[in-house]
Copies of this chain bind each other. A is one copy, B any other.
Amino acid sequence: MFEDKQGGLTPITNLGEFSLIEKLTKDFPSFHTETLKGVGDDAAVIKLGEGKVQLISTDLLLEGIHFDLRYVPLRHLGYKAVAVNVSDICAMNGKPYGITVSIGISNRFTVEALEALYEGIRLACEKYRVELLGGDTSSSRQGLVISVSAYGEGAENTTTYRNGAKKHDLICVSGDLGAAYAGLLVLEREKAVFLKDPNMQPDLTTYGYAIGRQLKPEARTDVIGLLENLGVLPTSMMDISDGLASELHHICHQSKCGAFIYARNIPIDYLTSRIAGELEISPYTFALNGGEDYELVFTISLKDYEKLKGIEGLHIIGHITDEPGRVQMELKGGSVVDVEAQGWTHF
């Protein structure tokens, strides 16, 4: 009204999310030597003294972008909002401590609806032993807004960053990949059927695992405990929120290395493959680009191979190379393709 607030005219779509963040945050000064890591990893890392560090992570969840309340129960949404933040603490090899939760709510929400949301938040707090430290509550003209920050603890010498991968390190992932995205596509398909004919009630019983992975993901605090018990300290680690391809590119970019993975070693659940078949999409697309699995991808030194070999639920899928920024995958037939961070859907 009183001035031209928009100034220039460069659409944000001209830049990717990561270029935009880099552009916006590059001039920020640093004041405290205790900050070991600010912007640019799964969590910020702040030195506390006596070898301890604090980890801080934050995530914004917006209705219509991150969730669709037509098929996401509020209890599950509350649980997931906590789990995805705890997952970021795990990705630094830390232990979760507490969260803050801010919500913006439009007046179409009832008290009972909010109680369902907070019941999910509470269940996740109990599961991960994190406590609610505070938050902010506001009305919203714009549907449901959820902002969660998570706080964790770690040790200075065992915190795992994205930039520690070295040539010959082995690349590992936990659990299986692609199921969360497969579940999302099933839910979207059934929503479309439902919207066309509200009498058609979807039968989702045979898709349970994939839908569960989408609606109620878990943070892999157990994997952090397992690695500690095995005496394995990863050289780099991330959680898989955007898809394996994107995360490997982050690790390669920050570690100034490349990655070579084998399609046959990528863990994909049978149901994920079946859904991929129904939808005529490659299951590798789900695993590489689907995202929201909240599994961990990490690299280990070759010397730790024997400790990890054969451990259930952990999979060695490839190794680190010295070609900066290049992620390659050997397909089952033996040919090798470059894996792009996004939109890589050709096999």
Contact = CB atoms under 8 A, between A and B. Distances in A.
B142 A32 contact: no
A32 B152 CA distance: 12
A206 interface: no
A144 B57 CA distance: 21
A347 interface: no
A63 to B, nearest CB: 7
Contact of A38 (B48, B103, B134, B136): B134
A1 B60 contact: no
Interface stretch (A69-77, A162-170, A313-321): A69-77
Nearest to A56: B133
A111 B111 CA distance: 38
A109 B20 CA distance: 12
A46 to B, nearest CB: 8
Interface string A19-43: 0110111011111100100110001
Interface residues of A, number: 95
Interface stretch (A114-122, A226-234, A279-287, A336-344): A114-122
Nearest to A17: B137
Interface of A: 1-3, 5-15, 17, 20-21, 23-25, 27-32, 35, 38-39, 43-44, 46, 48-50, 54, 56-60, 62-66, 69-71, 73-74, 97-98, 100, 102-105, 107, 109-116, 118, 122, 125-126, 129-143, 145, 147, 149, 151, 191, 194, 201-202, 204
Given A44-B133, A66-B138, 9 more contacts: A5-B116, A8-B110, A27-B122, A35-B131, A38-B134, A39-B135, A46-B98, A54-B54, A58-B102
A171 B263 CA distance: 69
Q: Is the interface of A mostly helix, strand, loop or mixed?
A: mixed
A59 B136 contact: yes
Contacts of A12: 105, 107, 109-111, 114
Contact of A100 (B70, B135, B149): B149
A295 B201 CA distance: 56
Contacts of A11: 107, 110-111
Contacts of A64: 141-142
A27 to B, nearest CB: 6
Contacts of A23: 111, 115
Contacts of A112: 6-10
